[in-house]
């Protein structure tokens, strides 16, 4: 496959993910979405997405902890 064909197929698959998950189209403008795609591309072939459990437990806890750290700065002020 040509690189152009692979890009087109990847874009169609991302769009299909949005459609089948009923994700609003404007979420594509979220900078975190772009960061995630760039990191996946940087990783290259063989990237395995996080599991349901990882997203629900591991990474959610990390985000909560990070948010709490950010809030501490504001609480001190």
CB-CB contact of 39 with 45 (8 Å)? no
Q: Cα(14)–Cα(8) distance, rounded to whole angstroms?
A: 10
Q: Enter the pTM of the model.
A: 0.77
For the segment 33-73, what is each residue's pLDDT rounded down to a tens digit?
A: 999 999 999 999 999 999 999 999 999 999 999 999 999 98
Phi-psi region of 44 (alpha: psi -120 to 50; beta: other; left: phi over 0): left
User: 1: pLDDT confidence band, cut at 50, 70 and 90?
Assistant: low
Domain boundaries, the chain: 1-46, 50-77
Q: Which two tokens stand for residue 48?
A: 């395995």
Helix, strand, or coil (residue 24): coil
Q: Cα(27)–Cα(16) distance, rounded to whole angstroms?
A: 14
């Amino acid at each position: 496959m040509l690189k152009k064909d692979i890009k087109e197929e990847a874009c169609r698959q991302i769009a299909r993910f949005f459609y089948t998950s009923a994700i609003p189209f404007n979420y594509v403008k979220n900078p975190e979405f772009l960061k995630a795609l760039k990191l996946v591309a940087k990783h290259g072939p063989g990237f395995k997405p996080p599991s349901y459990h990882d997203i629900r437990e591991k990474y959610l806890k990390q985000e909560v902890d990070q948010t709490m750290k950010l809030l501490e700065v504001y609480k001190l002020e």
